[in-house]
Structure 1
């Protein structure tokens, strides 16, 4: 026999057999090819999650890839099943689905009965015998798989290999099973043995040193060289592997995916039905008739959709959007689908392609074998309704979410490897914190030294090596954010389905990249927080106006209404129920922003530069008088009725006053806005796209700004380039422009351009752009373009990898950016309330959102059990509700003797005071927040007309939602008399009532926090048989907390304060240390050195910013944007990450009205805060 016999490995696990396999699928394929294997079977345990990656790696190689799976039966042996054809593959996937669906996520349960229940005639079986193999099990396998079963002989240089082989020969004789060689492969090379041991330890949740016989005795479970195999196995066992491999003809490319067809009415076809829906949509979008350009786009797209037979896909997405809008759920398509006129006509997207330079081929093209991909954003809090609709309509056997592969990142890898090596918990946490972010080898050493570790310690060095090996390994499957796969027939015969962690969710075993690689269609049902916030803002506004309209009916027709009421009355909806309005008005509230001159149908979108409505009309809702007793109202405010191209909104945007505004609220965007100065919708589209790594890394931002400001002339290297870049002043901003440039300037074919697009999307993970570099530069140089220009384009292509925006995508997001900016400008109270009610989302915590609203003149009232709902709400402006009472707050009894104990404050001082002869009244609500003096008279009128924002019970830390909802429900029946009444009727437990007392939410019933706390002590949530407990301890008059203590308590309990800013209390101390205010920093001239201290609001370290960290600091006068360069950030890393109150010494930098403080030194001033706890929002 040849020293290198042909061989097919029939039993190999990848790292998708989580915490067992120690090699990536691609590594196994690469190694098998290098060793000259004939075939390789990927047989991960009860999964096919890794086979697509192996399939892609094997393309173009002589290696045959076999799809199979290892299965451990609960009442029987271990098997490896191999698919011989498409039917066998489908049966295998169905069996895996049975096992996975039978139990919780991450495990499976299969029995002999399950295997017997499936038609596995097209599968081959390998029996993996136990240490002491059972003849009965072997005979069961032989009988179930006649002429399709083998006994796997897996020898690994053990001392008993010869005896093992003899034993298995006898077992084969007794069960009529032939023998075949197999490797039980767990790694591609023996060098992965240490990592495999660590994976075993992680799986068993014990240190490696305690794993004992659970560890493999040697490193032989790798893809061994064929000459080694020849010395271990008899020739006939190796030859048998080839005969088995020859029977396995199935390849993943055979999979064909068909979308459901039940959406097509009887008697018609998908093409006809799609045409009918499109034409109906065109009539709604353009009641006066569409333009010739639109008609041309529609016909071109429908022809291509029909040619590629994608009509069912479009019909499916249309049905999903139709359902959402019927439920009043805001939704909007985005991404490359916004290039489509058909999608716009169907109501899937809101970007009017007739007014944008869209590239439909970016979405769908006959030149590439790739399905369309439509992303639809839904309100993130109502997306589950859409998901459950899909499950209900198509069934669990036909619909499931795509998977997301959760991989090891530095923090999780350090923790798991640390435990496996036996380090104690404290050491592991110090290591994980020190190695957060996994920086360069030099920085790792510095960080370890800083954390008290010796980088040269052998244990630490081993940990670092193992962590580097483990990074990127799959840890488990999770569910995709919204990628839905829907099949015409059983989905589980295409790919296995398993349970998700969330109840009522199921996921397939492939992720979006796997689906794309095989050309399988998915619909992205995504959640977007801003859509929820906009919906909630609209509901708040319409509900408030409705209430004010109802209140107005109590006034005489002849009395001219107060201007405050006027604002609310003139636009009140006809219904007072938000729920009643939802379904009826869903089409309008889900529509686009109207942008045409005059009054036109609300179903149109517009992005025209010259659409400027009459400014007086814009402000009509603020100051116009209403009719008297006629009850005249305007339709409810919706996305469709938000006025477009409002100069006041663009004023706000140009000032960078965009806290909370979608897509333009980040530090970088706020710094860009005053420089770019968007004045039209298309300017806003550019703004959304330009602050991205593509334009930044391609050095396109400054040229664009200089050209926009008239500092630099707009030039084009050629007329062909002008046609691509004229709308962006000769500078490529969007992905489509880069692709078009490759075609017109470098001579790329459509196929090459599409290959470039694919490489751009994946190069950060897998590389692959290098082959295009020389092709692009050479092509451009041959056509007369400068090398500088060519290299700029290539650099931007690199920057666009996973980060650049297509123009259509930017336009979709710009719609929501404008809508949210309009709400912030004209309805700041409702906007702030909606943002808080929709958290977590965006960049800012409630404290910053509330302070920003106050800076815009919004009166904010604190949490109060007498008035607050769970969510933040709107109340009428003007004098706040107060309650005067002469009795002792929160009691019905006369005062008795002093209590038996005396509570004390944080300094140990008694908080008891002498009871005054006449108890003071309950505290009044805070007076309205000061209206900024910088506002014009007209603006002051507008601000006074704004409703008041009442904070919701959701802000109270430690308060259960169930308790809060009971509180609100019983309060609606009858106001609370006192704290005891509240606790008894709402059935509040000790935790809930203590949380309310600590938050100051009982002030209206009990007085200050100390008195509230006193009254909650000892109160029972409910007394037996509903009898009120008449024995009550007297309530002494307790001194209120100091201002500082109250502010600290606010931050602890609410995460914010409506008292003075904490730094106002420290200002004297800060001034003596020459620390100036944020207001002073923002007025200093360029180049001036200064020091300031502020609370850290956000830290942001963009992945493409060369280590620079952007920090936002806040004090009582405003915010300062701080730039910390990479070296300083690393040198002062602990100070930067741990400081709540950060002092910065640096240099003021001002450019185009944007001020930054360039940090030279950082200091931790946390001790000045005492017990105050604040939280920053950190982004990487």
Structure 2
């Protein structure tokens, strides 16, 4: 690096240092520094190490660690913490023990501010945690402590000339971190010079070393305006409005060496101390090494031995007379699973599924897991991969796992009992070993425009109006949206203040603004996970990881996707209602896997497109496709679930597939070698697996390599990654004796298919559920619609389902205090509306009324009802007006009058009793 001269004549190029106090975008609106830009800056500047010290968290630690290591920069993991004694300090992990202690310390936030009665965290406890000296002391090993800047416990006191308070605070922290406590010297504005001198004097008096490391909130001075916009969003202020948490002026950039030398001309030793501390910090995260929980059900067996025993037992259960092909495939899959060290993972999933079935909770594996015969034999999935000719490599490809990490099995669970199964997971593996995986909410066009519009002073009404005119797209594309969409054209983007807003809207694209919860992800560890990754408590009381799913996977922790699915709730709820309507009916949810797949009533319903409420096939697009197909078998339904997706549908495959399926167009194959591969889809590429099988059959590619080709086509990797396989494909095809013209045609076919398509395993799993829904609806229509209405999560509104039920001759009965339940039920082929559907009624009132009826039986009169149940007057009126009390009187108007009289008399009586003392 070239030697740079500072203004005082000293060589700035000799000022080797390391930034140790730096906020990234993972401080959530306290910084606009992206991790990629930070590492690039460090490389350009020749910085040997950089610390990441986001406020009260390690949210970006894993991606920062990976990015820095990849570019040869030493990543230092730390955090800026708020103290109960006042102020903030910076903690830096020196080693693995320090990282573990920092994780534990941050995780203790989840116990701060808990309400002793509810166990939930108050807003004050959740949003403003304060760490005590006792907590710092307990978790002090392996950590360096820096005294902080303007908000530090020392600087705040010295600014007020409270020498004694500053001295006490410094001595306290130096006792907690002996030999590892440094006084931070800072100069963010000319006014900080006096505090800097006082800090230096305090350090000399107490014998404490000083360190120079600016508190960076943006990379360069040019980013200051963006930081001020983000700080205004965070503090709910306008752009120029002052706030204690906003730095409207000063220098909060990450200075280059020459700038650092000019700002701190006499602090060469303190600057050098930053590099000395950095070289002492060497945390090595063991990424990619699987960490499995402890099992209590192995009974002395090895995980591999137990998995093999379960799979072999499942082979006999699933197939009466297993074929040699099934036996060989099972052993091959088991060998791959065990050799990769994933036997424990399969056992965890099996354990959860077994418990779900024991409790009668409907669950099924989805996604590519259905490509695995072992998953089918364990009961994790319910689609036979032999029958549907599913490819195991699509699910578990050792070549892919080298770059993507652990294999992933997703479970769909009936949504109204998902929490029950989660409670089992917490109980089985220990609450200290389980947490909900976090996810980061990031800015898109709408959210960025809305937040920045408020900062620039736009009225709330105008912000909402214009935000709704923008598409759900990246904020970086907001200008192009104005020219592409009619709605967005109404936004005057070239007029003030919109013209000043848009550059900021584009620049905060994809920046995280807060931590949320993954919709279905759960992490399971061992020995307590709070030393492996930081945790916090959500507003709803759930313990959530500060790392997202990618960070959790990188650490090797087991990640489970337990997704609540409304469609799975409809099936068991329909069966329950059907048995209740007909006590002699012998039907269990498990029996649906053994029903005829050629039921004429179910297929007639599907062919008519009359499938409202049926999982996956009720949308207008699907109903139209099924009518076009005249669908009459499960294989066609599997194809329909996939052909509706963009990868196939955008290529005009819907019409072509329908015509070939109906025999209106001859079936032809792109190449004779593909007749066995594309036979079930009439010569058309429909599934993701077709990329594997076409590349394998036509070009002789290994299925593992073919899967990498398939992966290059999806996950938004773009066509460049896909084209990187072209040479391998062409050389393999030539070795198979294919002609150049044939190779060009098949490669073009794959290239055009590049997009998002369902994998066949996923399509088969969802088609199975769709058919079961159609079978149930064709036989128990009233019970089916009642279950759909209770789920409240269908494709259409509840009113649409009610009207559809009436169109099919199913009556709908209003709410009734003696007949209605907590959910929709049926009575003699008609649907009964629950009390909770009464507009405006409180849920506590509904619970109180149902509990009273369960204890004392039906209500014989209005007087009896009012005598046994106490709920707010407004709820009584609501019930009466909708007819829920009609059975207790001669007419609704008379009931309303009687109700008013009784309630008035009761109020008078209470008033008299109140003043009788």
Place the TM-score, normalised by the shorter chain, in its bin. 0.7 to 0.9
Aligned to 1:991: 874
Size of the alignment, in residue pairs? 863
1:1015-1036 deviation line (CA, Å, top 9, x unaligned) = 4445429938999x9xxxxxxx
Please report how far the alpha carbon of residue 540 of structure 1 lies from its aligned counterpart in structure 2 after TM superposition: 0.1
Shift in Å, 1:762: 3.4
User: Which aligned pairs between 1:351-390 and structure 2 lie closer than 5 A?
Assistant: 351-367=383-399, 368-369=401-402, 370-390=405-425
Q: Where does 1:1059-1074 land on structure 2 (aligned, <5 Å)?
A: none
Select 1:690's aligned residue among 643, 648, 651: 643
**Deviation of 1:715 (Å):** 3.2
Give me the whole-angstrom Cα distance separating, in 1, the residues matched to 2:908 and 2:317: 62
Check if 1:511 corresponds to 2:511.
Answer: no
Deviation of 1:773 after TM superposition, in Å, equals: 2.7
Write the distance in 2 (CA, Å) between the matches of 1:772 and 1:416: 38
Shift of 1:748: 6.2
One of 833, 837, 841 as aligned partner of 1:959: 841
Equivalent position of 1:139 in the other structure? 171
Counterpart in the other structure of 2:751? 794
Query: For residues 528 and 739 of structure 1, do their structure 2 counterparts lie closer, same or farther at Cα, with a shift above 3 Å needed?
Result: same
Alpha-carbon spacing, 1:489–1:1025, altered in 2? closer, same or farther (3 Å):
farther
Task: Give the alignment partner of residue 407 of structure 1, picking from 442, 455, 466.
Answer: 442
Q: In the TM superposition, what is the alpha-carbon distance from 1:409 to its structure 2 partner?
A: 3.7
| In structure 1, distance between residues paired with 2:593 and 2:484 | 56
Counterpart position of 2:562: 525
Check 1:435–1:790 CA distance in 2 against 1; reply closer, same or farther (3 A cut): same
Check whether the contact 1:332–1:348 (CA below 8 A) recurs between aligned residues: yes
The answer for the alignment partner of 1:174 in structure 2 is 205
Change (3 A) 1:683 1:1022: farther
Structure 1 residues 432 and 1011, CA gap change in structure 2 (3 angstroms): farther
The 5-angstrom pairing of residues 26-65 of structure 1 reads: 26-65=36-75
Question: Is the CA contact 1:343–1:349 (under 8 Å) kept in the aligned structure 2?
Answer: yes
Residue by residue over 1:98-123, the C-alpha shift from the partner in whole angstroms, topping out at 9 and shown as x without a partner, is 134324344433111101012x3322
Task: Tell me if the contact between 1:431 and 1:448 (Cα under 8 Å) persists in the aligned partners.
Answer: no
Q: Distance in 2 between matches of 1:1026 and 1:449?
A: 61
What is the rounded CA distance, in whole Å, between the counterparts of 1:360 and 1:1021 in structure 2? 72
CA distance in 2 between counterparts of 1:754 and 1:450 reads 40
**For 2:244 and 2:513, how far apart are their aligned partners in 1?**
24
CA deviations 1:329-358 (Å, max 9, x no partner) are 111111121122222121111111221222
Secondary structure in structure 2 of the residue aligned to 1:483: strand
Matched ranges for 1:140-219 at <5 A: 140-156=172-188, 158-160=189-191, 162-212=193-243, 214-218=245-249
How many Å separate the matches in 1 of 2:211 and 2:833? Answer: 71
> Cα offset for 1:874?
1.7
RMSD: 3.1
* Contact 1:336/1:362, CA 8 A, preserved across alignment: yes
Residue equivalent to 1:462: 500
SS in 2 for 1:997: helix
Q: What is the alpha-carbon distance in structure 2 between the residues aligned to residue 213 and residue 830 of structure 1?
A: 60
Aligned with 2:468: secondary structure?
helix
1:342 match: secondary structure: helix
1:1023 aligned counterpart, secondary structure:
helix
Partner of 1:246: 279
Question: In the alignment, is residue 282 of structure 1 matched against residue 315 of structure 2?
Answer: yes
* Separation (CA, whole Å) in 2 of partners of 1:516 and 1:739: 26
- 1:485 offset after TM fit, Å? 1.1
In 2, the alpha carbon distance for the partners of 1:1003 and 1:981 equals 14
Does the 8 A contact of 1:449 with 1:455 survive in 2? no
* Cα offsets for 1:1132-1165 (capped at 9, x unmatched): xxxxxxxxxxxxxxxxxxxxxxxxxxxxxxxxxx
Following superposition, the deviation at residue 451 of structure 1 comes to: 10
1:675 aligns with 2:589: no
Higher helix share: 2
Distance 1:727 1:159, change over 3 A: same
Q: CA deviation at 1:794?
A: 2.5
Change in Cα spacing, 1:666 to 1:106, as seen in structure 2 (3 Å) is farther
**Structure 2 partner of 1:97:** 107
C-alpha distance in 2 between matches for 1:423 and 1:770? 42
User: Residue 484 of structure 1 corresponds to which residue in structure 2?
Assistant: 522
Counterpart CA distance in 2 for 1:870 and 1:46 is 43
Q: Per the alignment, in what secondary structure is the counterpart of residue 510 of structure 1?
A: coil
Distance 2:488 2:302 in 1: 69
What SS does the corresponding residue of 1:354 show, helix, strand or coil? coil
Aligned residue among 315, 330, 333 for 1:301: 333
Distance 1:230 1:702 in 2: 70
Aligned partner of residue 659 in structure 1, secondary structure: coil
State which of 545, 568, 573 in structure 2 corresponds to 1:536. Answer: 573
Distance in 2 (CA, whole Å) between partners of 1:298 and 1:778 is 30
- The 1:196/1:862 distance shift into structure 2, 3 A limit, reads same
Q: Tell me how far 1:541 sits from its aligned partner.
A: 0.3
Decide whether the 8 Å contact of 1:862 with 1:950 is kept in 2. yes
Q: In structure 2, what is the equivalent of residue 228 of structure 1? A: 259
What residue number does 2:93 align with?
A: 83
Q: 1:250 Cα shift?
A: 1.7
Structure 1 residues 669 and 219: CA distance shift in structure 2, 3 A: farther
Report if the CA contact (8 A) 1:987-1:1021 is conserved: no
Query: Which residue of 833, 841, 847 maps to 2:799?
Result: 847
Are 2:665 and 1:655 aligned?
no
> What is the deviation of 1:836?
0.5
- Superposed CA deviations along residues 657-692 of structure 1, whole A, max 9, x for unmatched, are 111110011121111112223222121111111111
Q: CA deviation at 1:795?
A: 3.8
Distance 2:398 2:352 in 1: 26
1:755 deviates by 4.7
Q: Conserved in 2, the CA contact under 8 Å of 1:101 and 1:108?
A: no
The corresponding residue for 1:325 is 357
3-state SS of paired residue (2:19): strand
Q: Which is worse superposed, 100-109 or 671-680?
A: 100-109
Q: Which runs of 5+ in 2 are unaligned?
A: 1-10, 114-120, 159-165, 735-739, 913-917
With over 3 angstroms needed to count, the CA separation of the structure-2 counterparts of 1:996 and 1:69, relative to structure 1, is same
Secondary structure of the residue that 1:522 maps to in structure 2? strand
On the 8 A contact 2:397/2:707 being kept in 1, the answer is no
**1:110 corresponds to which residue?**
131
Sort the Cα spacing of 1:1012 and 1:457 in 2 relative to 1 into closer, same or farther, 3 A.
farther
Tell me, in whole angstroms, the C-alpha distance in 2 between the residues paired with 1:307 and 1:789.
35
The question of whether the paired residues in 2 share the 8 Å contact of 1:263 and 1:316 is answered with no
* Paired residue secondary structure (1:142): helix
Instruction: Give the secondary structure class of the aligned counterpart of 2:439.
Output: strand
Report the 3-state secondary structure (helix = DSSP H, G, I; strand = E; otherwise coil) of the residue aligned with 1:660.
coil
1:639 aligns with 2:596: no
Distance 1:226 1:779 in 2: 50
- Distance (Å, rounded) in 2 between the aligned partners of 1:792 and 1:147: 67
Q: Give the Cα–Cα distance (whole angstroms) in 2 for the partners of residues 243 and 290 of structure 1.
A: 67
Deviation string for 1:616-642 (max 9, x for gaps)? xxxxxxxxxxxxxxxxxxxxxx43454
Q: Which residue number in structure 1 is paired with residue 825 of structure 2? A: 873
**1: CA distance, partners of 2:506 / 2:34:** 14
TM-score normalised by the chain length of structure 2: 0.87
Asked if 2 retains the 8 angstrom alpha-carbon contact of 1:776 and 1:794, the reply is no
Q: What is the distance in 1 between the residues matched to 2:891 and 2:464?
A: 41
After TM superposition, give the deviation of residue 699 of structure 1 in Å.
4.5
Q: Please give the residue correspondences for 1:267-278 in structure 2 after superposition, counting only pairs within 5 Å.
A: 267-278=300-311
Per the alignment, in what secondary structure is the counterpart of residue 70 of structure 2?
Answer: coil
Query: 2-side partners of 1:178 and 1:358: how far apart?
Result: 65
Matches within 5 A, 1:686-765: 686-742=639-695, 753=706, 755-763=708-716
1:771 aligns with 2:771: no
- The TM-score, its normalising length taken from structure 1, stands at 0.69
The verdict on how the C-alpha distance between 1:200 and 1:272 changes in structure 2, with shifts beyond 3 A counting, is same
Inter-CA distance 179–353: structure 2 relative to 1 (3 Å threshold): same
Match of 1:341 in 2: 373
